[in-house]
Amino acid sequence: MLLIPCPFCGKRNESEFIYGGPVGADRPDPNAATDQEWVEYLTVMPNPLGPVQENWWHARGCGDWFTIWRDTRTHDIVEAPDGTK
Amino acid sequence: MMINIITIMQKYSVFSLARNALSGHRNWPQAWRSPPLKDSYDVVVIGAGGHGLATAYYLAKEFGITNVAVLERGWPGGGNIARNTVTIRSNYMRDESIPFYVKSVAMYEGLTDDLNFNMMHSKRTMVDVVQTWPKLRELRRRQLTMDIYGSTYEQITTEEVRKRIPALTGGGPDARLPVICGMVHTDAGVNRHDAVAWGYARAADARGVEIHQQTAVQSLLRGADGKIEGVETNRGVVKAAKVVVAVSGHTTTLTETAGLKLPLRTMNLTAFVSEPVKPLVDVIVNCPDSGFYFSQSDKGEMVIGGAPDMGQSFRRDIKQHVFEDTVAAMLSLFPSFKKLKLMRQWGGHLDIAHDASPIMDQTDVPGLFVTAGWWGGYKAIPAGGLTLAHLVAKGAPHPLMAPFTLSRFRHLDFVMEAGTTTAR
């Protein structure tokens, strides 16, 4: 079980949270983006062997949405993509 | 050269077993060779798992392409082919998916003869235990689509479900999720995963394919013209005009070295087994509403699978609460399993595409082929290998896999599949 740091409640059990998917690229301007760029924005997500930024919802707690960096190899929750704790 | 190799490969039979028994099993030949690594091949297949080995075998058998090397980081059949629940079935949802899985199930049934290796195939039927009305509606809809393509699905009553699975004593009328009925998929079966890997490896080797273990591909090499040129391994550069990526969860890790982005996320799916007990359940039991499925292996162990971890993961173990949730769901329907001791757990990291359907295509890098997104790809190994060999040999997708190219993302023409995971 992960202990996920909610910014409001502190570290809480993973079972209190609902996973909200990885953080993708920013939404491009649909009028300026090419078809390829638009499809890439819709379908391609970062899939790193290492820290990934993801959204979590403290649904069974304070209800806050927030993001964390989690290492996909170890489940360690790190401060930043370079792996510092 | 090839003829020599074929004569060296000893045919397995009851007579060869008896002959080798008389000599104390000391004279069995090696199942496949360990030749020196050459500088170049016609085709390099990355990954000696189910899909990689099957692809190499069908390249040699169906298309006569034998100058093939299968490069494997660890040992053949040590990845996801050893980390699943050996469930073979074709109860999918979409018109695009069902014919492919019907073909794969049929190929599995003939694989023992084809490869001269005992797959221990047991066509034992899968019973879906239905506990909610929306799930029943979804499965009835699947049944109607499956009828078109010759796959079998049939509704049975709760009484019949309990008669077929006597251990199913939970889910009574007062339960939170009472058993409503069952759906029976008679095409489903299980077999032996090692035999699939070893059978394909041995048969491919006999046709001239080279299998190189302990050969980790570190990056894909592109030429000045942008085409694939070969791969860089821990044993040096291997050149090939055609490179096939069949590495499951690590697909994006490799394709990123060629500057290619693919719509895949890597996730961890886990399973665990109980101690062996006497024969108790003779079908594959799938409980999609409760979120678990299991079958009893030939050794008597209950092989149990549940839901995936949330979020991306390259791990190969089980998270404690995923394990606890699966056990709790199982005990609600099979309370007597409380007495079972659990022996082992494992996980495999596999990639899933945006629409939960596989991807098999030549990428934007000419000569680079991927087979990926095989969530539950064990059942797809024979047809997946055959169709990928077709794509590599002919440069155009096999008709069965034509809906599963990368262009479906470009045209937003997804194959949204609900039948991908068993416990859903």
Q: Say yes or no to pLDDT of B1 above 80.
A: no
Question: Is B265 in Cβ contact with A19 (below 8 Å)?
Answer: no
Residues B359-376 have a mean pLDDT of 95
Q: Is B36 on the interface with A (CB under 8 A)?
A: no
Contacts of residue B357, Cβ cutoff 8 Å, sequence gap at least 6: B94, B96, B97, B373, B404, B414, B415, B416, B417, B420
Residues B368-379 have a mean pLDDT of 94
Can you tell me the ipTM of this complex?
Answer: 0.91
Would you state the structure tokens that stand for residue B19, as one six-digit string? 């002959």
Residues of chain A contacting B312 with CB distance shorter than 8 Å: 22, 47, 52, 54, 72
- Confidence band of B140 (pLDDT split at 50, 70, 90): very high
The DSSP symbol for B271 reads E
Question: Is A47 in Cβ contact with B265 (below 8 Å)?
Answer: yes
Q: Is B405 on the interface with A (CB under 8 A)?
A: no
Show the low-confidence residues of chain A (pLDDT under 50): none
Q: Say yes or no to pLDDT of B256 above 80.
A: yes
pLDDT, position A84: 58
Minimal Cβ distance to B261: which of A42, A44, A52? A44
Asked whether residue A30 is domain-assigned, the answer is yes
Would you state the structure tokens that stand for residue B249, as one six-digit string? 């969860």
Its domain, for residue A61, covers: 3-78
Q: Which architecture, in CATH terms, is B126-188+266-353?
A: 2-Layer Sandwich (3.30)
Residues B293-303 have a mean pLDDT of 96
Q: Say yes or no to pLDDT of B4 above 70.
A: no
Cα B151 to Cα B101: distance, rounded to the nearest angstrom: 9
- pLDDT tens profile B59-88: 999 999 999 999 999 999 999 999 999 999
Q: Say yes or no to pLDDT of B2 above 60.
A: no
Asked whether residue A62 is domain-assigned, the answer is yes
Q: B-contacting residues of A 16-75, CB under 8 Å?
A: 19, 22, 35-36, 39-40, 42-45, 47, 49, 52, 54, 70, 72-75
- Confidence band of B423 (pLDDT split at 50, 70, 90): very low
Range(s) within chain B of domains with CATH label 3.50.50.60? 2-23+36-117+192-263+355-410
Question: Buried b / exposed e across A45-54, counting CB within 10 Å, b at 16+?
Answer: bbbbbebbeb
**Residue B69 · residue B244 · CB < 8 Å:** no
Q: Higher pLDDT residue, B10 or B279?
A: B279
pLDDT, position B50: 97
Asked whether residue A10 is domain-assigned, the answer is yes
- pLDDT tens profile B80-125: 999 999 999 999 989 999 999 999 999 999 999 999 999 999 999 9
Residue A40, min C-alpha distance to chain B (Å): 8
Q: Report the number of distinct structural domains present in chain A.
A: 1
Q: Which architecture, in CATH terms, is B2-23+36-117+192-263+355-410?
A: 3-Layer(bba) Sandwich (3.50)
Asked whether residue A85 is domain-assigned, the answer is no
pLDDT, position B421: 60
pLDDT, position B420: 67
CATH number for A74: 3.30.2270.10
- Report pTM: 0.94
Asked whether residue A83 is domain-assigned, the answer is no
Residues of chain A contacting B318 with CB distance shorter than 8 Å: none
pLDDT, position A1: 75
Would you state the structure tokens that stand for residue B215, as one six-digit string? 């050969």
